[in-house]
Amino acid sequence: MPVKRLFVAALLLAAAPAGAHNLWIKPSAATVSGEDGWVSFDAAASTDVFVADHQPLRVEQIKAFTPDGSEARIENGITGRYRSTFDLHLTKPGTWRVAVENAGLQGSYKLGGEDYRVGGRPPGGPGGMRPAGAPGAAAANARGPAGGPTGAAPPQRPGMTGKFVPGGPDFVLPAGATDVKLTQSASRNEVFVTLGEPTEIKPTGKGLEMVPLTHPADLVADAPGRFRFLVEGKPAANLEVRLIPDGKRYRNDQGEIVAKTNAAGEVSVPWPSAGLYWLNATYQDGTSSIANASGRRFNYVTTLEVMTP
């Protein structure tokens, strides 16, 4: 089974099924001083977060944004065997964002006696997300049309059949389609780095997102970090938020912290110590604002640097 080529896809949208690999972006520093500054990033998917021992996250999937939200240039990108690495030149003060984001529909339908699968990565395309409801039949390594649009595109997986249809914003369900199983999917994996004075992190109102009540540049080990989670702009109540500290290799336990949001979507996280933390939350329900979608599934990941007081 070609696990190697599939891993990122499986994770981008990952609701972290058992045994899944975790996608992470690790900044060399989240706080930078000076007239300008550089931050170097590692990005990969692996079982233990921040341990590059499985697969790189592709540099082409990663975007960077200046404090005012305009797209910034990623420099010196290299995809290695276990992790990719790239640099970001912080040329003005404020909070910059580096992110891998995907959104679209996933699933399947039938038309004229043929199976179609929506979303996922066309063979040979860049990694994307895993279809939520892949029809299970033989035809391992069946290949769909090449050249996929949208970032929301996972690979052809063994056991998956049907003709590939992109699940991006242009998707329209053809008239006469039957057996429609579509899920709205969105994933965001982002990291904030700040040069000088931090600037506000504004919600987009899309997918599952974190709005810091404690700015990532203000996280200190002796004060809990407070965050608000939103689903499509509305408070994500009772959401389970998981955090894993860096350095798993040098301890016995996972060290996972699990916290739940309150009715306002807010969560308070006490830090066992200063260090780097991987934060993940997944939201899933049976509603969607998108036509023909019977549910939605959102994933959020960020990396937080907590300083000594």
Partner 1 sequence: MKISHRTLITGLAATGAAAPAAAATAEISIAIPQLKVAEYHKPYVAIWLEPATGVSARTLAVWYDADNREDAGQKWLRDLRAWWRKGGRTLKMPANGISGATRAPGPQRARFNLGALQPGAYRIVVEAAREEGGREVVTLPFTWNGKGARAAASGSSELGAVAAAIRP
Residues near partner 1 (CB under 8 A) are 29, 31-35, 37, 194, 196-200, 212, 215, 217-218, 220, 307-309
Smallest separation (angstroms) from partner 1 to the CB of 253: 28
Looking at the Cβ atoms of 222 and 256, the one nearer to partner 1 is 222
Pick 37 or 144: Cβ nearer partner 1: 37
Q: What are phi and psi of 182, to 5 degrees?
A: -125, 140
CB of 220 to partner 1, least distance (A): 7
53/200 with CB nearer partner 1: 200
Tokens matching residue 132: 């939520």
Q: What angle do CA 63, 68, 72 make, to 5 degrees?
A: 30
Q: Show the tokens assigned to 264.
A: 């306002």
Give the nearest distance from C-beta 32 to partner 1 in angstroms: 6
List CB contacts of 186: < 8 A, sequence separation 6 or more: 101, 102, 103, 104, 206, 207, 208, 296, 297, 298, 299
Q: How far is the CB of 293 from partner 1 (least distance, A)?
A: 35
Which residue's CB is nearer to partner 1, number 184 or number 194?
194
Which of 9, 238, 223 lies closest to 120 in space, CA to CA? 9
Cβ 34 to partner 1 shortest distance, Å: 4
* Residue 75 Cβ vs partner 1, minimum distance, rounded to whole Å: 18
Q: Which residues contact 74 (CB under 8 A, 6 or more apart)?
A: 59, 62, 63, 64, 86, 87, 88, 98
Torsion of CA 90, 32, 84, 118, to 10 degrees: -70
* Alpha carbon distance 234, 7 (integer Å): 31
Nearer to partner 1, 10 or 90 (CB): 90
| Residue 254, number of CB atoms within 10 A of its CB | 12
Query: Cβ closer to partner 1: 69 or 174?
Result: 69
Listed in sequence order, the residues at least 6 apart from 217 whose beta carbon sits closer than 8 Å to its beta carbon are: 30, 31, 95, 192, 194, 198
Q: Which is nearer to partner 1, 220 or 290 (CB)?
A: 220
Q: How far is the CB of 260 from partner 1 (least distance, A)?
A: 24
